[in-house]
Structure 1
Amino acid sequence: MAETTALCFDMYGTLCDTSSVTRRLGEVLDLSGVLTDAVDETWRRKQLQYSYQAAQMDAYEPFWEITGKALDYALAEYDIEPTDGERQRVVEAYDHLSPYPDAAATLEELGDAGYTVTVLSNGNPAMLERLAANAGLEPYLDDIISADEVKTFKPDPVVYENAASRVGSDIEACRLVSANAWDAAGAGSAGMGVAWVNRRRDPPEAIGPTPTTVVDSLSRLPDVLASE
């Protein structure tokens, strides 16, 4: 495997916790804890499903729109009818996701170690820029690379290939860092190295290459990369 020079971090679920939307869901819609968790789970599941569908159906639309439609589905499933203002406040929770506690320090340490540190995400540029700024991650990023640039979504190989082109590197010298097993499998299939942040100790995907590196937290990544 080529020496890694660029690290491409997934944003949603890797650097920032998508389940941190539950606070705003509960507050804005006055939901119980159990119902809030159920809506959150459905929202995230449909967000990913709709991105897959849009890619397969050649029906691309920005991830912000995908996220809103996934929320609409989740609310409808549980017969929740927010006002337009309430819906807007809830979907804007994606601009204010909580970063994982070790995210900023890990990005800073890896940047100081000489890696090119970027985000590679399905999010469209405006939503990624807002989140990176609000989460305090922006100072530690060399770039933000969006799937919007190629008008499809991960795990389409072209998303990972575009990232390598953007950082000016062979794809083998780029490494995706993701907590999403399907994303890790997609990057590996495209020829990119992978560091899978397996916080829940899940099994790897049955389809796609086994991740080249597995860590249980972002904070472990600098030491593991240094030892390879």
Structure 2
Amino acid sequence: MALLDEAAPGVKVVVFDAYGTLFDVHAAVARHAGAIGPDAQALSDLWRAKQLEYSWVLSLYGGFRDFWQLTRDALDYALARFPSVDRAIADRLLGAYRVLDTYPEVPAALAALKARGLMTAILSNGETSMLADAVASAGIGEHLDAVLSVDEVRVFKTSPAAYALVTRRFGLKPAQAAFVSSNRWDVAGATRFGFRAFWVNRAGAPDEYADQRPVAVLPNLSALL
């Protein structure tokens, strides 16, 4: 029996976070690592950390700026922290971020879920056009029934309003949706909302949010099948 059937029987839709789950958020810097120099990985880590931090802080005080603007703002901050990196690289990094590589198993995993008769979707903090670019570049659109952006509700995950985009779009109860994310904080929010949440722990990170546990922990998306 597939892990999905065993851990979350009866689900009708499998919903994926985008950035870090389907798309490798470090791929943009990796493409230009030679031009960036020895601080490439540290720059990439800080860029991602600030991007997320901005989304959480905005949500807490009731503000909103679309995720593409946060991505630009976070890169500006990261470049300021690493003055050895030529700021002229910014436009190339932002262009690469719109067409991030997927993890190797992603297309086959999505296709397999569709072949089993399940609906599939993305639910992302990502801005609508940046998601469209990423999906088109990866060639995975045919395997998705919906690409949902928090732009519609103007609040980021882990707000319940963000997760409710799924139940409203598909007309389902939360327990009828499996939610898959590599971000443990996102898994916690999805679990709290009532989704059957799976944590893709590619990095082997320690667990946290013990009060909001996933139904299963996966090394990659192939393990779901």
**Is the structural similarity TM-score above 0.5?**
yes
RMSD: 1.5
Measured after TM superposition, the shift of residue 195 of structure 1 is 1.2
Cα separation, partners in 2 of 1:170 and 1:183, compared to 1, 3 Å: same
Query: Counterpart in 2 of 1:70?
Result: 74
Measured after TM superposition, the shift of residue 26 of structure 1 is 2.7
Query: Counterpart in 2 of 1:225?
Result: none
Alignment check: 8 A CA contact 2:128 2:151 kept: yes
Runs of 5+ unmatched residues, structure 1: 223-228
Deviations 1:16-41 (A, max 9, x none): 111111234435xx221x31111101
Q: Does 1:99 align with 2:102?
A: yes
Query: Counterpart in 2 of 1:139?
Result: 142
Measured after TM superposition, the shift of residue 59 of structure 1 is 1.5
Query: Counterpart in 2 of 1:82?
Result: 87
Partners in 1 of 2:174 and 2:9 — Cα distance?
Answer: 9
1:7 to 14, 28, 35: 14
Deviations 1:129-157 (A, max 9, x none): 10001012111111101111110111111
Correspondence 1:131-170 to 2 at 5 A = 131-170=134-173
Alignment check: 8 A CA contact 2:185 2:209 kept: no
What is the aligned residue count? 217
Query: Counterpart in 2 of 1:31?
Result: 36
Partners in 2 of 1:109 and 1:101 — Cα distance?
Answer: 14
Identity percentage of aligned residues:
35
Alignment check: 8 A CA contact 1:2 1:172 kept: no
Query: Counterpart in 2 of 1:60?
Result: 64
Q: Which amino acid aligns with 1:18?
A: V
Measured after TM superposition, the shift of residue 2 of structure 1 is 6.8
Partners in 2 of 1:146 and 1:117 — Cα distance?
Answer: 14
Alignment check: 8 A CA contact 1:189 1:208 kept: no
SS at match of 1:139: helix
